[in-house]
Amino acid sequence: MRLGLNLGYWGAGNDADNLVLAREADQLGYSVVWAAEAYGSDAATVLSWIAAQTEHIDIGSAVFQIPGRTPALTAMTAATLDTLSGGRFRLGLGVSGPQVSELQFADARSGLGERAFA
């Protein structure tokens, strides 16, 4: 049996604890640590930070939102994370939910989408 650790969404106030958990899981021989993205945090940045602070545990996106990235950007991000982590990256893709993906692509007439990415 292989064990994994799901850190969930980043930025909920438990970020330092999550890094401690990821390091401990690495030391205990866990197979993978997963990070999610939504509501202002992206999984790629979190996973690169965890990969730099661990040695053996795989890092996985749970999930990269398909509406938030082009296919080319997703592939480049995955390839870079895999290289930087020494081949430890696992790619998880998902469509997310409307409350997350619609905020990213808000009606341009409202200006919300422009402010979110400015």
pLDDT tens per residue across all 118 residues of the chain: 999 999 988 877 778 899 999 999 999 999 999 999 877 788 999 999 999 999 999 999 999 988 888 999 999 999 999 999 999 999 999 987 776 666 655 554 455 545 454 4
For the chain, the structural domain boundaries read 4-117
For 4-117, which CATH class?
alpha beta
Beta strands (DSSP E) in 10-111 are 32-36, 58-61, 64-65, 89-90, 93-94
Specify the length of the chain in residues. 118
pLDDT of 74 reads 96
Could you tell me if 55 and 26 are in contact, meaning their C-beta atoms sit under 8 angstroms apart?
Answer: yes
- Report the sign of the C-alpha dihedral through residues 19, 30, 38, 52, in that order: positive
Closest CA to 84 of 56, 52, 55, 37: 52
pLDDT of 111 reads 55
pLDDT of 109 reads 45
